[in-house]
Structure 1
Amino acid sequence: MQRKALTALALAGMLVLAGCSGGVGDGTPTATDGAPTTADGEPAQGTSSVVITQAAESGVNFYVSDQENAIADFDHLNVTIAEIGFQRAEGGWSEHAVDNRTVDLTRLQGANATRLTTVQPENGTYTKVFAYVSDVNATLTTGEQVRVKLPSEKLQLNSEFTVGANESTDFVFDIAVHKAGKSGKYILRPVVSQSGTDVPIESVDEDLEVEFADEDSVTRGGNATLAVTRDDEPVENATVEIDGEQAGTTDADGRVTVAIPDEPKFKLIVEAGDDVADLRVTFEREDGESEMEAEEDDREEADDDDDEAERDDERDVDDREENETESGDDDEADDERSLNATFVGEVAPGGNATVSVTANGSAVENATVTVDDEQVGTTDADGRLTVAVPADAEAFEVEISAGEREAELEVDF
């Protein structure tokens, strides 16, 4: 589900800022200095300001992006993902179905990314990530439909990250389409250097917008009308929950009137299909009338131009770093049909390249190796075969098959 981060700040004599000591940045309500409070330290009844922040949610926000390689050749490149998973550092996998979500990589170039899902794996350290691709549909800018190959149905990369208690983690899974030299063929591969939790994100998602239709009407124990929109259009049949209880459903105008709890704080959740806006509302005691100004808290905009420049530099060296496909793994979560193929040592024009093929940690003998659509041999008992690299090659692509299992390697020079 996609989650929208919204912040509304109430201004009344004193500005309440997220991040101040004991303030709303951590979701904890704090009475304004000098304002009357109850014996429990809660704001006293009376005129109050309202602070709305994003409700803290733990879990992993899983984004998909595209490193700009051969994507300019495509009018659209739709990739359908059925499942994602994370390998724990101590062993075992945390797997999550995503209901065959389809993303168009042509919309996700550079820092552009879309949130595929938000999942809740156990707290701990994870070392590998996979995305199970169930379908690829591609059309070139010329209008020609082409087949884009996968090294296996499971795109996988090594990327260590940690999920902490009550923490939200943004993970970007970057996928690039590569052109295999002059062959006219294309292949999808995950890009390690552009993936992980520390890369910039520019969200392309059209999230829910939630605001109070009449800001002055938001008072403890009263009623208030919510307006829910997406891309400036009203959202009908969005459901609203307050502190876990059903509070109403939006009408054709995207509006619903809800009862505000007579409490110093409460949590409000709006759901419309896969989209969710979750807010925490806190009342702060103020002398005099209050005003409330709603504004979007776009955390993606916090990434500065230096981050984007660094990302551009990393793209230039990515192909030199990616000399192996991460098409499978040797543990229980691997698809039995997948092969793990790598180049042993350096691959250069005019030299020899040794291909190593394994499955579930064991060498694969008699795997067929094809170069430029021509069969060049089969692997030996150690799962290896050495082949010649053309001296004038701009790229070197190798296809490996063993029964119904396939893998593919590519190096651009």
Structure 2
Amino acid sequence: MPLFSWSRAWATVAIVLVLALIGFGLHWMLTPEAPVVAQANFRVLLSDQENAIGDFESLEVTITSIRMLRGGEEGGWEVIELEESVVVDLTRLQGLNAQEIWGGIIPEGQYIQVFIYIEDAIGTLKNGETVNVVAPSRNLHISKPFVVTAGDSVVNFIYDVTVVAAGNEQSGIKYILLPQLDQSGADQEFHEVGEGKLTLWVVDTGTPVIPGQNITVVVTFQGDPMPDAQVKVNGVHVGNTSGEAGQEGRISFTVPYDEKLKVKAKIYTALGELEGQLKIE
């Protein structure tokens, strides 16, 4: 083969390589990098300690903002204005049940107080009467220090509240919303209530939920047990809730050896499909 044919061939290869490199470079320069989504390092979850909550069919509390006082020499406030007000029904958050009202990133360091600001609290009693529940000064505050550190760990701050009844039937009963210091803080056990209209509860046995242990979950809708609800545990169907007298809405199962436990319930009713879930870490 003549020498000039080899030269022409190598020249062609060189041109192809150059064009490929140029194309790769343009693609690298023009293709935007995927945004890096920072993981939340702090969450506030609301829970309710049982007092007068048994009087209510529902008790919806509307929260507009959260403020946290920093400790140490710097001091100052970390203010979180919720883009949309968060409405939680306290009747679903009894016992260890808790619901997230905010999750995001706050500066590292020590915090010594947490305030939540309440727009209103409106309850429906079991007799059908609607009442306004008073939140003194329209805010609640708890002094319970916690520390946010660098790394992947997330601080879950449980903000426990309770509703109490004051007065009597003659003078009129007034309901008041108060914070509960003992059951609040970043070191509290909790079961996280997810979205959906069904409420799931773990029957309290006085011991924590651990793998290999048998537990019983109750599925309710507006306070009433729901028999024949389909229940899944970490995606695996474990059966339907009982319809037997005294056991309505209950199902027992063995906790799997997984890092997290997610229990989901679903039932078809005249109101349509109802769902609910509970997460335990």
**TM-score interval, smaller chain:** 0.5 to 0.7
> Quick check: which one's helix share is greater?
2
| 1:186 shift after superposition | 0.6
Output the amino acid matched with 1:176.
T
Whether 1:83 aligns to 2:72 is no
After TM superposition, the score normalised by the length of structure 1 is: 0.37
Partner residue in 2 for 1:256 = none
What is the alpha-carbon distance in structure 2 between the residues aligned to residue 146 and residue 122 of structure 1? 39
What is the alpha-carbon distance in structure 1 between the residues aligned to residue 40 and residue 86 of structure 2? 22
Superposed CA RMSD in Å reads: 2.3
Partner residue in 2 for 1:172 = 158
Of residues 297, 303, 320, the one that matches 2:260 is 297
| 1:181 shift after superposition | 4.0
Question: Unpaired runs of 5+ in structure 1?
Answer: 1-54, 208-230, 233-294, 303-413
Q: Is the 8 A contact 2:39 2:105 kept in 1?
A: no
Can you list the C-alpha shifts for 1:226-253, whole angstroms capped at 9, x where unaligned? xxxxx99xxxxxxxxxxxxxxxxxxxxx
Other structure's SS at 2:185 match: coil
After TM superposition, the score normalised by the length of structure 2 is: 0.54
> 5 Å matches for 1:361-372?
none
Whether 1:188 aligns to 2:141 is no
Partner residue in 2 for 1:199 = 188
Partner residue in 2 for 1:158 = 143
What is the alpha-carbon distance in structure 2 between the residues aligned to residue 137 and residue 109 of structure 1? 17
Q: Is the 8 A contact 1:123 1:162 kept in 2?
A: yes
Count of aligned pairs between the two proteins: 163
Q: Percent same amino acid among aligned pairs? A: 39
Can you list the C-alpha shifts for 1:156-211, whole angstroms capped at 9, x where unaligned? 1111000001221111111110001424111001111111011111111139xxxx
What is the alpha-carbon distance in structure 1 between the residues aligned to residue 185 and residue 194 of structure 2? 19
Q: Is the 8 A contact 1:58 1:165 kept in 2?
A: no
What is the alpha-carbon distance in structure 2 between the residues aligned to residue 106 and residue 58 of structure 1? 27
What is the alpha-carbon distance in structure 2 between the residues aligned to residue 196 and residue 155 of structure 1? 14
Q: Is the 8 A contact 1:96 1:119 kept in 2?
A: no
Can you list the C-alpha shifts for 1:130-162, whole angstroms capped at 9, x where unaligned? 001012111100000112111111111111000
Q: Is the 8 A contact 1:111 1:201 kept in 2?
A: yes
Output the amino acid matched with 1:71.
I
Partner residue in 1 for 2:79 = 95
Question: Unpaired runs of 5+ in structure 2?
Answer: 1-36, 197-230, 233-257, 263-278
What is the alpha-carbon distance in structure 2 between the residues aligned to residue 201 and residue 122 of structure 1? 24
Other structure's SS at 1:159 match: coil
| 1:296 shift after superposition | 7.4
Runs of 4+ residues deviating >2 angstroms: 55-58, 295-302
What is the alpha-carbon distance in structure 2 between the residues aligned to residue 132 and residue 119 of structure 1? 18
What is the alpha-carbon distance in structure 2 between the residues aligned to residue 110 and residue 297 of structure 1? 20
Whether 1:126 aligns to 2:126 is no
Q: Is the 8 A contact 1:147 1:186 kept in 2?
A: yes
> 5 Å matches for 1:6-405?
57-90=39-72, 91-98=75-82, 99-166=84-151, 167-182=153-168, 183-206=172-195, 297-298=260-261, 301-302=280-281
Output the amino acid matched with 2:154.
S
Q: Is the 8 A contact 1:73 1:141 kept in 2?
A: yes
Output the amino acid matched with 2:260.
D
